[in-house]
Structure 1
Amino acid sequence: MFDFVDSADRAEEKGFYDQAYVGRRQESCAKQTVESVLPIWDLPDRPENRIVLEQLGDLSGKKVLLLGNGESLKELLFLTMDPAHLVYSDLSTHALMNICDRFELDQFQNQLTFAAIDAHDIPFSSNTFDVIYGFAMVHHLPDLDRFLVSVNRALKPGGYTVFMDDAYAPIWHYSKQTWLKPLMKLSHKKTGISPEDYRFSMSGGFREVDLGKKIRRAGGEPWFVRAAFFNYLFYRGAEKLLPQRLNRMLRKETISKAVRVLDRWLCKLPLLRRNQIRLIWGFTKRP
């Protein structure tokens, strides 16, 4: 039904995710519709999701490439936006097969391709895509410059990208390196962490100035939006350290609304605005 394009191997990262995904096959479960993922875009602990969706804009008639999408479900909603074609890709073939197992996708067989590819070397012709997207995946790549050149080549002139990763936030970075370090180790032991996630987390995140320079060298015009300080820390701590029952309770509407309001108020302060942790970013390819 779908075309699985093979990829070069980034052994350490691919091995970690293949091992994680291969045990999660759900062939016997009833398949979901793509519309069922809509609530994920409005999760109380993920304010960056809504910003990402707004930055994507209208996808109708566009060729869209999803990079490093793993088992992320929310992006299947893009199929309801009438793109000309959507390529759903990841380094791990097992992740792609799991998505096929879980969702009813027959009606999209002329619009959808699954591809197991390495984002460093996008295996499509130059000037192919109107939109290239990646959510929490760019920090997994060991060669950012090579990636940006590959993405810019695959974009059509005037095409654009939307990515989401963590920004360099001095308060958060200092805390992870000092007084929070024992808790970080405990949370990583409890929930697991990929090799690249760990290295990126401890390095501190992306800085807009540095990232912007790399984007311009690759041929793009960058943009950046930050989101979430207290909201991120509150729910990240709950997810990593608290029992599931208490964690679920903290996501009830009354509590999550109060957390969002407090986060917005705190981020009016210049110091905390500079320390927002989520970075929604991208670039437009110059003509």
Structure 2
Amino acid sequence: MAGKETSAPQDPAPNPHATAEQIEAAWRDPKLANVLYHDWEAGTYDEKWSISYDERCITYATDRFRAVAGEESWPYPRAMELGSGTGFFLLNLMQGGVIKQGSVTDLSPGMVQVALRNAENLGLDVDGRVADAERIPYDDDTFDLVIGHAVLHHIPDVPAAFREVLRVLKPGGRFVFAGEPTKIGDSYARRLGQLTWWLTTNVTKLGPLRSWRRPQSELDESSRAAALEAVVDLHTFDPSDLERVARDAGGTDVRAVTEELSAALFGWPVRTFEAAVPQEKLGLRWKLFAYRAWQRLSWLDERVLSKAVPRNLFYNVLITGKKAA
């Protein structure tokens, strides 16, 4: 039966301070875990991941889109971001001229709230809904483009989500998902992150470096939230398997590419270090160093390593395809 976009009841309010009982229940319910974890992170998510809505991230987003989907049909009249978080991918693609009108959807009310606030601050034409990716609350044939960034690995039933994406796309419409972890890439990234966290939080216990240690209450809260990552991060992907899932759901012209090998080996320790120390200790020089080093390594990955290294060794997989016209 065709899906129906109805006048749904008011979206639930964000819950950034989950109780111990809710967290215990979340260990048995991946969707609840995603809501609690991302509501907790919504207010600081952009800062944590160095997300901005300026030329730096506009270029990053449009380059990711172009790498897998090319530049046909820009701008797309209406697009939806699935699992939008704070709106990073959609809002920067809109500023980059890829999309004219957008809709943000996320299972987390806190993330939808922040994404809409970001869109308003940027003066962009965006609406939003709290939505389950396995039951998208929009009519058939609604969107010219459906996008997502780092969302598929949070969805319990990825094949169902792809079927829903294709349902709400117009005939000939395109989907683009980026920022998904490969099986091998996730393995080395997690190990690097865990080692960096352990080293940083222990070294900053030493007397001369104590000013570089975040308050214990903040570290404890970060550890508690990080523990939920074992529940919210449900999948890693082999590029060929992900292509097969999209085709089985009815996608055509399906294509996956991968990126970030040396950039990921550098980036994950850097991001973990930044999360473990007080933000005021890291000034503009640090941010410029980290960003420029990542840029150079990304160039190395794209221009050199991608021609010599199997695609499943890279950290990120991006996938695109279309709904049959």
Aligned to 1:15: 36
Residues 234-279 of structure 1 show CA distances to partners (whole Å, capped at 9, x for unaligned) of 02111213656385353264x4454344434651463354411111
Q: What are the equivalent positions in structure 2 for 1:1-287 lying under 5 Å apart?
A: 6=11, 10-21=31-42, 36-42=53-59, 50-53=63-66, 55=69, 57=71, 58-60=73-75, 62-80=77-95, 81=97, 83=99, 85-104=101-120, 108=124, 111-170=125-184, 172=185, 175=188, 182-183=194-195, 186=198, 192-193=225-226, 195=228, 197-198=229-230, 205-221=236-252, 222-241=254-273, 245=282, 247-248=286-287, 250-251=289-290, 253=292, 255-256=293-294, 258-264=296-302, 267-268=305-306, 270-271=308-309, 273-287=311-325
Residues 182-231 of structure 1 show CA distances to partners (whole Å, capped at 9, x for unaligned) of 52774998675373x5457686x211222222222211122111111001
Q: Aligned partners of 1:161, 1:259: CA distance in 2, in Å?
A: 28
For structure 1, the residue ranges without an aligned partner over 5 or more in a row are 26-34
Distance 1:99 1:123, change over 3 A: closer
Check the 8 A contact 1:65/1:88 in 2, yes or no.
Answer: yes
Distance 1:267 1:129, change over 3 A: same
Aligned to 2:23: none
TM-score (norm: length of structure 1): 0.74
Secondary structure of 1:250's counterpart equals: helix
Number of residues of Structure 1 aligned to a counterpart in Structure 2? 263
Letter in 2 for 1:223: R
Distance 1:198 1:77, change over 3 A: same
Q: Aligned partners of 2:74, 2:171: CA distance in 1, in Å?
A: 16
Q: Aligned partners of 1:145, 1:173: CA distance in 2, in Å?
A: 21
Q: Aligned partners of 1:150, 1:24: CA distance in 2, in Å?
A: 30
Distance 1:84 1:257, change over 3 A: closer
TM-score (norm: length of structure 2): 0.66
Check the 8 A contact 2:267/2:294 in 1, yes or no.
Answer: no
Check the 8 A contact 1:89/1:114 in 2, yes or no.
Answer: yes
Distance 1:96 1:59, change over 3 A: farther
Residues 150-192 of structure 1 show CA distances to partners (whole Å, capped at 9, x for unaligned) of 111111111110001334353x455468x75852774998675
Distance 1:219 1:52, change over 3 A: same
Letter in 2 for 1:19: W
CA RMSD of aligned residues (A): 3.7
Letter in 2 for 1:93: P
Check the 8 A contact 1:267/1:276 in 2, yes or no.
Answer: no
Over the matched positions of the two proteins, sequence identity in percent amounts to: 19
Aligned to 2:49: none
For structure 2, the residue ranges without an aligned partner over 5 or more in a row are 1-7, 13-28, 46-51, 201-218
Secondary structure of 2:179's counterpart equals: strand
Q: Aligned partners of 1:202, 1:18: CA distance in 2, in Å?
A: 18
Q: Aligned partners of 1:202, 1:180: CA distance in 2, in Å?
A: 19
Q: Aligned partners of 1:101, 1:174: CA distance in 2, in Å?
A: 35
Letter in 2 for 1:41: I
Distance 1:40 1:126, change over 3 A: same
Q: Which has the higher helix share?
A: 2
Aligned to 1:31: none
Q: Aligned partners of 1:252, 1:129: CA distance in 2, in Å?
A: 34
Q: Aligned partners of 1:61, 1:273: CA distance in 2, in Å?
A: 29
Check the 8 A contact 2:239/2:256 in 1, yes or no.
Answer: yes
